[in-house]
Chains A and B, each alone.
Chain A
């Protein structure tokens, strides 16, 4: 209850502030668990654009209470001047468009979106195996690697490898500058390689994209200061 009513207070506070000071930058608060997960791409967008935001990492025990105030019962939730927005990709796309990391033309934006949705489909298929690799589910890791992990990986990373190559091996998946799909892929690769070293060695173009992301100064800086979590 308290979390919901505080949002209302912030919302009205910022409505009044916007009236008095029309040039005020919006205030951003991103709420998620204390992990990278589905919030990391948005945190990186804030870092890339030098936009201050409240990185609200919710302790697990506070989740049941906070959940009641979320629009869809899930996190992450972005608050923009107190107005809530759920769903990680909707949030990432909203921020990316605002800060200039969504693709430079409508066509590029559509391709970033398409790759994003393909990533989501891939992750849904990959997670049962991946959870065993994390240790959050039980199973025969080696057997699942052969039956699920490798074929699912090869299908999706094959698509990414071709996309990166067709895009001119520039180190960007789409266009000629960083987009949120580059961030998502790079972050995911970091998590995979932490748990399954060398699992993604066979994709040199995608590795180039990943290096490009993590060597971008503002991302490098963020990676050095963010809390390190296993996923």
Chain B
């Protein structure tokens, strides 16, 4: 009924005991990327369904009413839907040892993710103008929203990395919030190359996470990389 451009990884036959995963999002990294990378790191094959932007086709307008909240990303597992990028990422991560080694560590993973969200709400007022998604006074927004939010958030991440000493944000193994933060750092560094120079641990962390073999492979093969 819909024809989306889809990046099919594997197909599983109906006889397989494994679940069938489909991720629906736009054809951008955005809020979907942490979910895609969590699935990739968990080693879960999934159909990476990318809908055209509303300006480029009717698919989203048609699909929207079939989503739980009228938003994407949405993960379908054997036809059942779950919305909200963090809920999806945590759901996958929890089942594959990527959500923290203890309940308290899992809570710290959640806390850092929510703190990032607060940062991003503020920072995106500048970033989306910088990236050309919105109109606005880039210089003014950078001074009023970009720099202050950056200076509130990244010292916390820098400090957290120094405290764990493991190279990971929580405990001594990778969690889904490492993927979230490394992706954000990559986006910010691409948009403004020297913006994070005051945070050497943060920059090292991004390198380390993106060198993890399954993540490195995902990044090399994702559509954005091949454009």
Contacts and interface: CB of A to CB of B under 8 A. Distances in A.
Interface in B81-99: 82-84, 86-88, 90-91, 94-95
Interface string B82-121: 1110111011001100000001101110110011010001
Given A73-B152, A159-B68, A114 B111 contact: no
A124 B82 CA distance: 22
**Main SS of the interface on chain B?**
helix
Nearest to A155: B70
A113 B121 contact: no
Nearest to B108: A85
Given A106-B91, A113-B84, A72 B107 contact: no
A154 interface: no
Nearest to A81: B104
A73 B115 CA distance: 11
Given A72-B156, A107-B80, A107-B82, A113 B107 contact: no
A86 B94 contact: no
A109 interface: yes
Interface string A81-123: 0010111011101100110000000110111011011101000
Given A94-B107, A98-B103, A124-B121, A113 B90 contact: yes
A120 B69 CA distance: 13
Nearest to A95: B107
A111 B111 contact: no
Interface of B: 68-70, 80, 82-84, 86-88, 90-91, 94-95, 103-104, 106-108, 110-111, 114-115, 117, 121, 152, 156
Interface of A: 71-73, 80, 83, 85-87, 89-91, 93-94, 97-98, 106-107, 109-111, 113-114, 116-118, 120, 124, 155, 159, 163
12 contacts: A72-B111, A85-B107, A86-B115, A87-B111, A94-B104, A106-B91, A114-B82, A114-B84, A114-B88, A117-B87, A155-B70, A159-B70
